[in-house]
Amino acid sequence: MSNLWFLYLFFSALLIFIGLYCLLTMRNLIRLFIAVEIISKGVSLAIVATGAVKNSVLLAQSLAITYIVVEVSLVATALALIINIYKKNKSLDVRLLSKLKG
Amino acid sequence: MVIQIVLLCGLVLFSGLAILLRDLIKAALSLAVASLFLGLIFFRLGAPYAGVFEISVVAGLITVLFALTIALTKKEDEVQENRLVKIIFPLFFILFLIIDGLVMKSLLTKVPALPATPEGESFGLVLWKQRTFDLVAQIGVIFAGVLAVLALFRKTGKDEDKDE
Amino acid sequence: MVFSFIVIPLLVAAFLPLIGKFSKKLIPDVLTNAALAYLVFNAVMLVKPLLAQGTILQNVNWFGEQVNLAVALDSFSLFMLFTISLVSLCITIFSVDYLEHYGHKANFYALLLVMIAGMNGLVLVPDLFSVYLFLEVAAVASYALVAFGLGYDELEASFKYLMLSVVASAFALLSITIIFGMTGSLSFQAVAQGLQDLQARYVIGVCIAFFIMGFGLKAALVPFHAWLPDAHPSAPAPISAMLSGLLIKVSGVYALFRIVYSVVGMTPVLTQVFLALGTVSMVVAALLALGQKDLKRMLAYSSISQVGYIVVGLALGTPLGLLGGLFHLFNHAVAKGLLFLNSGSVQHITGTRNLEELGGLDKRVPVTAGTNLVGALSIAGVPPLAGFWSKLIIIMALIQAKEFGYALVAILASILTLWYYLLMQRKAFFGPLNENLKQVKEAPFWMSAACVILALIAILVGVFFTPFVKTWISPAADVLARGIQHVLTWGI
């Protein structure tokens, strides 16, 4: 049964990799946020798959649903920020956001 | 089993498409289709409530929010992504696929796990009786999100064209 | 009632936007400050029953049914609750005057209260996933608060902070999932028991690595610190104080060490890893702070450096080390809150944060200059202020654990800290009065009052540190030490 777990974790890791790659290399602000969404998909797949393997799929469902609610909140806040940035910059390029040097 | 693998491959495919497509609206729609696949996977795993939530919230609500933002930030000249990055992507992807497969294969027997104990209750009981604190926290998160949007969209009374 | 720590801020936050429509200034101020004062009072009242009883577990009956709203209050949690409530109260007192810059007080207070509720919840729950969840509550509120002024700098800083923080949270959740997959449960007790039965060395290492990546970013450990020098200076001054003084410690240091001590178990390898990370943070951030011209940026780098101290103290695992780490956590929260609030006062008075443009303010605004001096000396570790004692205890603990190299580095970093704080003090407050600043007046009443309260706390805790340590910090250190005892019996 644990073979199944590793199958799902394999795909979950793949999704997280796609998200991280996009986050590191893309320039459009909204596309950066799509990358975050893909990472969230990977994580929620991992949560439900773990629950299914451990035979406690109901508990895992509650966790996944709560995580989706948190994600919605995050998306709302981030998109509000992006709209405000667009109003200031008139562009969605992340390279323009380099005024503050870390 | 085969259907699961097909669905999983579809999920990864559409997520990859969401990055590679040039048009933002098409990328958002591709993300919605990926959510649809994920919802189906949840159904087949025995988590129907998570599947419903995933489809209705992520494929529905979040896609609408994305479409709203894209509509509000449309301009004539789009942001050009680096072409090189998109071409290199399949290379890295296949590289990671191989590494991932090897890692997972080698971990196959190494992760110890306690034996699974069967669950007896229904989903409602688990959500309301066992994870009640999560519900309080969910209320908190929703508050935080609503207040954040209210705060970020308030009228400041500053001149809009003032340079910082 | 232990639940009031979470419920009261949420309730007040729920009603504030409505109230804000009727009364723009008076009632939100009074309500928020009253709520936080009640929380401080509650925290102090809980000390006696806690010492008598051990861990307080509370379960709530909702209309007669047994629901699982369980909180576990032990001394570590109570200590964090006290710190959070005290510093937050002073910050809201400060905000009474400072928010004239921004307007929309009700909105601001509501977000602040949600953040406080999130932090309180994080500290109180005995469950891995709930810790993650309350962390997100506080984090979402903080993204909006950093961007509250809607200026260009703030939006950029908030966006970068958001992106990095979301990835970190995802990694932490991934680690929680793996632990769930191994043990089948999420509460601290059950997971500790399960991991004890399983003896999984390699996978626990991977989990801890993910936790360090996730919570280490929240705590701004080097190399995960890149968001902090942008986010903290751009935020409004009370929010900088809140983030730097409380959020990085509660959602970063507390979460990480709670999980390490109560769930996974501290091992010698892990101690070395944390010592290395902490020391790098201490030194790199102190060096970077030396060259800063912006007042708040220098304070932000100093925060990273001091968090390094706290991590080094807590990582040692010896009773003295735990004592020093926790004491320094409290001192830094008070002193850094004070310094950031002062920077807000300076910005309000003179309109600039640039150290080159300031100078000689102590002749015009003695209260601000005096409190700033107290805060700076406390962090730099000058006796008899509180910071001296906590740094001394940490260095003594390092020597006692025979980590002489690290002790030497800690002493050197302390000298660097003293250097740049004196530099800041001299440039901003002492020295000749700058031309443009001839007309400045003292800061408004509530702003000065908040700073004076925090300065008094720093002085009093420094002078009377023995009873303070005995009441608040020793029990907290004992809780952590017991966790080690319990887990070290099966040594990884």
Q: How far apart are the first and last CA of chain A?
A: 47
Give pTM, 2 decimals. 0.90
Look at residue C120 and tell me whether its pLDDT is greater than 50: yes
Contact A99 C152 (CB under 8 A): yes
In this prediction, residues C258-275 reach a mean pLDDT of 83
Q: What confidence category does residue C483 fall into, taking pLDDT thresholds of 50, 70 and 90?
A: low
- C157 at the A interface (CB within 8 A)? yes
Taking Cα atoms as reference points, which of A86, A74, A4, A85 lies closest to residue A39? A74
> 3-state DSSP call for residue C264?
helix
Do C28 and C109 meet the contact criterion of CB atoms below 8 Å apart? yes
Parallel/antiparallel/unpaired status of strands C65-66 and C61-62 = antiparallel
Q: What residue ranges of chain A have pLDDT lower than 70?
A: 1-2, 99-102
pLDDT at B56: 93
Q: How far apart are the first and last CA of chain B?
A: 58
Taking Cα atoms as reference points, which of B44, B27, B43, B33 lies closest to residue B10? B33
pLDDT at B29: 93
Contact C167 A53 (CB under 8 A): no
Contact A53 B142 (CB under 8 A): no
Q: How far is CA C45 from CA B146, C5, C124, in A?
A: 34, 13, 16
Higher pLDDT, residue B76 or C462: C462
> 3-state DSSP call for residue C67?
coil
Q: Write the pLDDT tens digit of every residue in C138-150.
A: 999 999 999 888 8
Contact C67 B129 (CB under 8 A): yes
Higher pLDDT, residue C408 or C489: C408
Contact C159 A81 (CB under 8 A): yes
pLDDT at C338: 92
Tokens of B17: 């498409």
Q: Where are the domains of chain A?
A: 2-93
Contact B65 A31 (CB under 8 A): no
Of A78-82, C17-21, C411-415, C468-472, minimum mean pLDDT range: C468-472
Q: Where are the domains of chain B?
A: 1-73+84-110, 122-153
- A52 at the C interface (CB within 8 A)? no
Which chain B residues have a beta carbon less than 8 Å from that of C184? 113-114, 116-117
**In the CATH scheme, what is the code of domain A2-93?**
1.10.287.3510
Q: Where are the domains of chain C?
A: 4-488
pLDDT at C137: 92
Q: What confidence category does residue B161 fall into, taking pLDDT thresholds of 50, 70 and 90?
A: very low
Tokens of C360: 């000689």
Q: What ipTM does this complex have?
A: 0.93
Please give the interface size between B and C, counted as residue pairs whose CB atoms are below 8 Å apart.
116
Instruction: Give the separation between CA A93 and CA C329, rounded to whole angstroms.
Output: 39
> 3-state DSSP call for residue C383?
coil
pLDDT at C135: 92
Higher pLDDT, residue C105 or A67: A67
Give the phi and the psi of residue C62 in degrees, each rounded to 5.
-100, 105
Contacts of C271 (CB under 8 A, 6+ apart): C315, C316, C317
- Average pLDDT for chain B: 82
Q: Write the pLDDT tens digit of every residue in C173-203.
A: 999 998 888 887 888 878 888 777 776 677 8
Q: Write the pLDDT tens digit of every residue in C337-393.
A: 999 998 888 888 887 777 777 777 777 788 888 888 888 888 888 887 888 888 888
Measured between CA atoms, how close is A47 to chain C, in angstroms?
A: 6
Do C227 and C248 meet the contact criterion of CB atoms below 8 Å apart? no
- Average pLDDT for chain C: 84
Q: How far is CA B86 from CA A25, A26, B92, in A?
A: 9, 9, 10
DSSP B52-65: HHIIIIIIIIIHHH
Residue of C nearest to A41 (CA): C170
Interface test mutation site (partner C, options A6, A41, A50, max chain C beta carbons within 10 A)? A50
Q: Which of B112, B133, B151 sits opposite C130 (nearest CB)?
A: B133
In this prediction, residues C223-233 reach a mean pLDDT of 87
Touching partners of A (3+ C-beta pairs < 8 Å): B, C
Residue of A nearest to B109 (CA): A2
User: Which residues 450-469 of chain C have a CB within 8 Å of chain B?
Assistant: none
Tokens of C200: 């999984």
Contact B130 C68 (CB under 8 A): yes
Contact A99 C227 (CB under 8 A): no
Do C398 and C410 meet the contact criterion of CB atoms below 8 Å apart? yes
Q: What confidence category does residue C430 fall into, taking pLDDT thresholds of 50, 70 and 90?
A: confident
> Where do we find the tokens 């810059």?
C101
pLDDT at C60: 65
Residue of C nearest to A88 (CA): C152
Contact A68 B27 (CB under 8 A): no
Instruction: Give the separation between CA B11 and CA B66, rounded to whole angstroms.
Output: 19
Touching partners of C (3+ C-beta pairs < 8 Å): A, B
